[in-house]
Homo-oligomer: A and B are copies of this chain.
Amino acid sequence: MAQPKPLVARTTNGQWRTSLTLIEPNRILVRGYPLDELMGRVHFGEVTYLLLTGELPTPSIGRLVDAMLVSFIDHGATPPSTLAARNAATTGASIRGSVAAGILGFGRHHGGDILACRQMLDDGLALARTGQSIADAAVGLVQRMVEAGEITPPGFGHRYHTKDPRATRLLQMAHELEVDHEYTQLLRALEQALVTHSSPEGRSLPINVDGAIAAICGDIGLPPEVADALLVISRVPGLAAHALEEQGREAPMRAINPTAHMYDGPSERRLPARRK
């Protein structure tokens, strides 16, 4: 194989710097790797990780990152982000503009739990590092929240799911791939501690997908802001698909009622054998 061409040294005089991608005539390096060598050899989820962190993931982390991206790719027609995209699309706006409107429909109450849960876990682990066990730190955190009147910690509970299948699967994968460390342990300890303090009506507060992503990103060493960026990246295909469906299937300028729709896609089906 030919030797890599050394990068010509450049002055920094008056020049700002980027470490993401080198563009030269007929040559594109993403974090040092030729883009055309990445193509077909490294999956999009892994190149996303490379771009955001500077290095290719290990195979285990690459699989987890890809699974996290898939876990958040769509959640049906009711999220406000999806409705923002559909309301743009129904006016005949471009797919790009509709996707941008959808991204703007992620505020602190929607997709914001990943950052808040990570903060809570960092607080808990700081407690644990003072000598407490993780289980005790979890009980301490829950007591603090109960006293503060917070009844739904970030990363727990869901409007639709009493047991979020995405969280279950992510935590199972993290366990099998042996990347579940203290963040995941604390998350599970919190789930236990919440049972004890459950509300009188016995409301279940299981780990949701945001909580699982927050903890796993902690355990694989992703900074919170990168975890947050993964979330918006992951939902873009869903937003684009809803915008395309809106324009392909519905009359323009319709009133989109989020509570009056039905699914008419394929019935439940299994993956082909080669995928398992």
Contact = CB atoms under 8 A, between A and B. Distances in A.
A10 B26 CA distance: 38
B52 A16 contact: no
A268 B29 contact: yes
Interface residues of A, number: 142
A118 interface: no
B99 A101 contact: no
A132 interface: no
Contacts of A59: 274
Contact of A253 (B45, B110, B165): B110
A45 B44 CA distance: 6
A148 interface: no
Contact of A37 (B24, B78, B92, B271): B271
A238 to B, nearest CB: 6
A170 B83 contact: no
B253 A169 contact: no
Given A26-B163, A160-B25, A56 B272 contact: yes
Contacts of A131: none
A95 interface: yes
Given A161-B25, A163-B26, A169-B40, A237 B51 contact: yes
A41 interface: yes
A34 B264 contact: no
Contacts of A229: 95, 99, 240-241, 243-244
Nearest to A68: B39
B264 A17 contact: yes
A203 interface: no
A117 interface: no
A18 B265 contact: yes
A12 interface: yes
Interface stretch (A69-77, A120-128, A137-145): A69-77
B259 A26 contact: no
B36 A268 contact: no
A266 B6 CA distance: 10
B70 A39 contact: yes
A98 to B, nearest CB: 7
